[in-house]
């Protein structure tokens, strides 16, 4: 039932930003950890860049957000076997250093008994994101049951993120196509001010309408 609700909440929005925010928020609430960060590729870069950081406690957010907002090299993630499989990795000092990026900065916390885990979010054999969780209290370490739940959560998140990502790409293409058909600027006519307001139905970014200006001979 819990995962049905999670799946429903992920699919409620086709906005990529809202979807990734829902993933990190749900991970923290469901697994009882202190922080979650979801990183995704940006353009053709070699790093996964944070797209959503969720730290409910404001006091902790001030200390943790600068650390969790660091990028993560994709090559180091896949180099530890976190590539085409949804294998979660519970971090220790050695693996955190090998991962580099923002994960390496978690080493001081791990030395004090905190625990962290990273799991790739995989769709069609491609790493489309990586989700990292952090539990600061040594008495609430991330155990095997939590890791298994996280892997299930990552599978649900993969579907939602991939759908939202695909929708964003299609909407971007449609938007570019529509703008290429619309006039770049209104005509300049003495004594007449010409302008336009366009709002597609259903509060969508892209609609099916086009318009143009025509200057008549008279």
Tens-place pLDDT, residues 152-203: 888 888 888 888 777 777 777 777 787 788 888 888 888 889 888 777 665 5
The dihedrals phi and psi of 77, each to the nearest 5 degrees, come to -65, -50
- The packing angle between helices 2-11 and 16-31, to 10°, is 160
Average pLDDT of the chain to the nearest whole number: 83
Please tell me the predicted confidence (pLDDT) of residue 132: 95
The answer to whether 21 touches 157, Cβ cutoff 8 Å, is: no
Strand partners, 90: 117
Please tell me the predicted confidence (pLDDT) of residue 54: 96
Produce one character per residue of 117-133: b if its CB has 16 or more CB atoms within 10 Å, e if not.
bbbbbbbeeebbbbbbb
Dist CA 131 CA 32 (whole Å): 15
Find the length of the chain: 218
The dihedrals phi and psi of 171, each to the nearest 5 degrees, come to -65, -40
Q: How confident is the model at residue 97 (pLDDT cuts 50, 70, 90)?
A: very high
pLDDT at 18 exceeding the cut of 80:
yes
pLDDT at 37 exceeding the cut of 90:
yes
More confident position, 163 or 118:
118
């Amino acid at each position: 039932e819990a995962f049905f609700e999670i799946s429903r909440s992920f699919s409620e929005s086709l906005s990529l930003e809202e979807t990734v925010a829902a993933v990190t928020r749900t991970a923290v609430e469901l697994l009882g950890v202190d922080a979650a960060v979801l990183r995704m590729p940006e353009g053709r870069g070699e790093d996964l860049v944070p797209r959503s950081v969720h730290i409910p406690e404001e006091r902790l957010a001030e200390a943790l957000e600068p650390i969790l907002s660091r990028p993560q090299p994709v090559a180091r993630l896949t180099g530890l076997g976190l590539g085409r499989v949804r294998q979660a990795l519970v971090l220790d000092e050695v693996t955190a250093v090998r991962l580099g990026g923002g994960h390496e900065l978690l080493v001081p916390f791990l030395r004090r008994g905190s625990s962290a885990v990273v799991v790739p979010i995989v769709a069609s054999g491609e790493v489309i994101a990586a989700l990292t969780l952090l539990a600061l209290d040594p008495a609430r370490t991330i155990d095997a049951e939590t890791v298994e739940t996280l892997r299930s959560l990552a599978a649900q998140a993969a579907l939602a993120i991939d759908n939202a990502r695909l929708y964003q790409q299609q909407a971007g293409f449609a938007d570019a196509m529509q703008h290429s058909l619309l006039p770049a600027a209104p005509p300049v006519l003495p004594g007449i001010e010409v302008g336009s307001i366009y709002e597609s139905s259903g509060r969508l970014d892209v609609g099916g309408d086009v318009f143009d200006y025509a200057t008549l001979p008279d």
